[in-house]
Every structure is written in C-alpha cells, then in structure tokens.
A and B are shown apart, each in its own frame.
Chain A
Amino acid sequence: MSDTLTRQDLLRRALVGGAALSVPGLVPSLARAAGDAGGTIVFSNWPYYMDINNKTKRHPSLDLFTKQTGIRVKYIEDVNDNAPFFGKIQAQLAHGKSTGRDIIVMTDNSPYPALLIKKGWVEKLDKKALPNIKNLVPNLAHPAWDPNRDYSLPWQSGMTGIAYNEKLTKPITTINQLLTDPKLKGKVTVLSNFGDTVGMVALANGDNPAKIDDASFGRVIAKLKKGKTSGQIRQFTGNDYGGMLAKGDIIAAIAWSGDVVQLQADNKHLKFVLPPDGGMIWTDNMLIPKGGNAHLASMLMNFYYSPKIAAMLEDYVNYVCPVKGADKVLLKSDPAVAKNPLIFPPAAWRAKLHLIDPNSLFNADYKTQWQHLLGA
C-alpha cells in the first residue's frame, strides 16, 4: 500500500496501542476489528486463478470477503510469468520502496519465492490472524526455502507428470519409456521449465530431486541430450504442448496436471499419470512484499483457508487444492471435482510428489547448461 502513514493510520495505531496497555487481550482485537474494516488490500495474482461470475465479471469469493470483513480487495491479474514479474517489482524492493501490493503470488519452481525471503523483501505472515493455517495439507507445510511457512502460504499447486493420448499409444508410465521408446520417436515433448523436467528425470534416474548435485544434474542433462540428439524429443515447451497433444502431433509429454484437466474436457483420450518413481509438485505461493499490510493480507489468506471458501474457489480453478477439507465440502455440491485425482490427489499420489531443490534454481552453471540444452 502507501509507504507513508496516513493520519487515520496513526490515530488507529495509537488507539490500538493505548487499548493494548489498558485492557490486554480483549480490547485490542475489538479495536483492530473496527480498524480493519474500511481497509483496502491489493492482491496481484495470475490470470484465471479466481472464481468469477461470467455475467457480472465479479469475483464472488472476494465479494464475500469484503462483505464479512469490510476490507476491500483490489484484485489485479498481472502475474504472467515469474521472471518478468520479479523484474517488475525488484527495483522498488531493492530501493526499500513499497510495490503497492499486499499479496503477490509466485511459483516455487522458480528461484523467486526463496530469493524474496533471502533478501528480506517480504513481510512475515500475521499468524494470529491466520488460525486456518492448520488446514494446510501436510506435504506442503515445510518447504526447504520457508520451513515453517513464516512468509508464504500456497494458493494452488500443480503436479508434473506424464500425459499421453491413449488412442495413439499403450500407456506411457515412465520417463525412460518416454525418452527411449522408438514408437514415440519425434512425438514427445518435455517442459522447458527447469524445475519440472530436471526433477522428473532425476526421479527416473533414482536421484533425489530435492537434493540436486553436480553428479545427478549431469545425469539428467546426459539423458535429455541423448533424447534430443536421437530425435526422440521433438520440442521443449511451455503449455503449448496441449494443442499438439490434442491434435496428435505428439503422443506423450511431460505435462502439468492443471492443463490436462482442461484438455480432458475436450478430449477424453488424454491421460495423466505419475510415474512409479514419482512426480513433481510446484506451488504458487502467496507472499506479502515489504511495505504490504501483513495483518490484512493474512486475514485474506485465512479466509481462503476455510474449507468452504477453498471449495468455492476450487470449483472454478481446477488446480491442486492446498486446503484440507475442501473436497468434503465439494463432495455435496460438485462430486466430479471432489473425486478428480488431478484436483484432490489421493494420499497415495501425494506421497509420490516431490519438490525441486531450491538451490539448484540458483545455480548459474546449471541454468546455463539448461538453456544450452534448450538451444538458446
């Protein structure tokens, strides 16, 4: 928000301070609640990541939040890619200025969430205002770059696995099959995203993706290089593999679960599997950039961590839900979504999901080798 205190702010803070001195416990929370109403927070998110009423173009869950708390939310969809977005806010943060945002959403398969914390460019969550953090699914509770979730909270996750067109091939269940089966020659794409593809191939090599070292990275590059020179791998893609998969130009791909949910709506023959060696999970994390209002932002996070609201959101976005209990709510209203393993992965799937080593994302040598593999 604004980096200067307004007179109202000052008055409110003085009031809270005074109240806290006189009747600790009870009054501060009342004063706060009164103060919170009328506040505004700015929430920067990725496009298509919020429920929307197609007629009114309003976001029902955000409206409900404003109704319940009196806090207005300015919702902007200006995060299109991690690197450019980081570039956009970096200059302000480096100069100690506010970014004008209270919540931003960045992905942990990019180095930026970890970097923001390392540089001290984010505010701590106000956990007192965030009791619903208890609903966070356990396997996302302790990422290496923010072990106690002091600074970040998942918005949505996605799985990385193998997608294939069952009309054109027998099931493809392993990365080795994907990269060597002669029947798939020139009909395979892999993601150009470092963390996803390196993680998947490391798993196939029997290496730990959460701890990438020179040797295991070397094995990943060697395997992919072989796949590229042999002509097995056709392209390295962003989500443009979707169209090719649907058209049959490619038969199988390293793919994102969220894309496959959408593609399946048009083409029932597309399947998504996690290889027996495991798959990757990435998470878009809410963070509060320095100068943002941590208290109000945490209240909003708390709101979205109630199973009911999470269910409301999930019914629209179709990524992997990080909130426990949301599937139980949806079981009544939209059982198809509640039972979709790509949205609510069963425990057996969750156990097979891995996070990429955040340090590998900072390794300049790895990054260069990776870009060379991609030809650019």
Chain B
Amino acid sequence: MKFLHRHRGLVPYLLLGPGLAWLALFFVAPLGFLGHQSLETQDPIALTDTFTWAWHNYSDALTEYHTQLIRSFKYAGLATLLALLISYPLAYFIAFRGGRWKNVLLLCIVGPFFVTYLIRTLAWETILSDNGFVADRLRDLHLIGANDRLLATSTAVVAGITYNFLPFMALPLYVSLEQIDQRLIEAAQDLYANRAWGFLRVTLPLSLPGIFAGTLLTFIPAAGDFINAQLLGTPDQAMIGNVIQSKFLELTDYPAAAALSFILMATILLLVGLYARALGTEKLTG
C-alpha cells in the first residue's frame, strides 16, 4: 500500500492492466499471428505454409476478389441505411411516446435475439420462400413477376442482414434519444421553431452519437457477414466473408484467407475514419 501511496501515478495503469492483458492476449497476439500467416506461401500438395514475405498474397486477393469486396460494402451500406431508416422512427417512438410500455417495447426488439443467429436467418428462408405468404402477396400486387422469386436474390440477402443487425442500430439510437432533455425541444418551440425545424436543429444533432454508434455497430459486422449470403443468396451474392470462410475452412488456404481478412479490416478502418471525419468527432464525444 505504501508503494501505491508513493507512486500514485501508477494506479490508473495498474487498473488498466487486466484489460490490456486481455487485449494483448486475445486481440494483438492473434492479429500478429494472422499478419504472419498472411505473408506465408502454401505448398498446394502438402498444404504446409512457409513464411516468405509473400506480399503478393494481398495483390492477388484484391485482383481476384475485388467484386466480392465491393459487393460486401454495398450490401453492408444498404443494410445499414435501411436499418437506420427503420430504427430511427422506432427508437424515437419508444423514447418519447413509449411511456410505461418502454421496457416491453424494448424487449420486443431484443426478443428475437434470444434465438440463435443461424435459426433467425433460416426463418427468413421460410418467410421469403417461393410459395410463401410474402412472395404470393407481392405477386398478387404485380410487384414481382409470376416466375420471379425473393429467396436466393440480393434483396433477400440485404433484407436478412438488415434484420439481423437491427437491434445494434435501434438500441444505441434509443439510448441517445432517451437522454435528450425534453426542455431543449420545448425551448426550440418557444423560439418559434416548427416541429420539423425543431427536430432538425435540436433532436437530430443531439442523437448523432447514437446514429454514429448504431451505424458502426451495424456496418462493421455486416461487411464481414457470410451467413446471410450463404443461406439467402446464390453464388452471385457471395460476400467477402464467404470467400474468407471458404479459404479458411474449405480450401485450408490460410495465407490467402489471412490476407483477405487484413484487407477487409483495413478497408473498414479507412471507411470508418472517413465517416467519423465527416460527422465531426467533437460532436460525437459531446
């Protein structure tokens, strides 16, 4: 104890210790291992990997799989946007009009997520089934042709991703909307702002941290997802996650899989950086 008294400055670092050790052990070390692996060359027959500074793994992966990479960001972006458009009114309603039903309504959002991811996605296979209710009604309305289908299309994949990551959007949005001081909105109205203007100048800016957190929590895992494309799509909907999965588990081509993982990670970091820049970080951290 005396030691700690004398070296007060050390306390925060000691408290950080367990967290840092955890990160070092389960994040930094595997990342280093993966980086090492991404520069190995594989013997195609024996399937053994040797370290050779094989930077070409990266360029090879990009030339061969840029289609799937771009597609992943397109789908993830679309799903994030859709999730935002669906979640914002939902979170707004629960936060401002939910009253004593707030907790029940929140539970309704979280409820389906007590069921495992795979089963939830398989449920969409039934929902969008060729002869299912949804497809039949859309056919009745002539929104899709008699021989068109919903399942095994890009629509199905984006719908699946949107659904699967919706709570990651809705919950942060709810939290940030919930915290808004109602008096600020009243003040805006006192100052002759109409409802729309008040929303745009007060509510929306104050909920930006929620939007930021929600979009990131949705976009990042969605970009690396492979389950939705695998179960609800066709080879034409394959995402970069499917490629990495097949490289790691089907082909045991670890170097290529590791290089692809790094490319995915770097691209996400870049996009998130640009996004944070555009929104302005000082606004987000309050």
- Residues on A close to B: CB < 8 A? 81, 83-84, 86-87, 90, 94, 115, 119, 185-187, 228, 234-236, 240, 243-244, 247-249, 362, 364, 367, 371, 373-376
Contact = CB atoms under 8 A, between A and B. Distances in A.
Contact of B234 (A81, A367, A375): A375
Contacts of B129: 247-249
A115 B46 CA distance: 8
Contact of A249 (B46, B130, B147, B249): B130
B151 interface: yes
A194 to B, nearest CB: 9
Interface residues of B, number: 32
10 contacts: A84-B249, A115-B47, A187-B130, A235-B233, A236-B235, A244-B125, A249-B130, A362-B45, A374-B238, A374-B246
B242 interface: yes
Nearest to B242: A376
A235 B250 CA distance: 17
Interface of B: 44-48, 68, 122, 125-126, 129-131, 147, 149, 151-152, 231, 233-238, 242-243, 245-247, 249-252
Contacts of A187: 130
B151 A249 contact: yes
A169 B68 CA distance: 35
B84 to A, nearest CB: 28
B122 A243 contact: yes
A362 B238 CA distance: 24
Contacts of B149: 186
Given A249-B151, A375-B242, A376-B242, A81 B125 contact: no
A371 B130 contact: no
B61 to A, nearest CB: 12
A249 B125 CA distance: 9
A192 to B, nearest CB: 8
Contacts of B46: 115, 119
B235 A247 contact: no
B48 A87 contact: no
A375 B250 contact: no
B251 A367 contact: yes
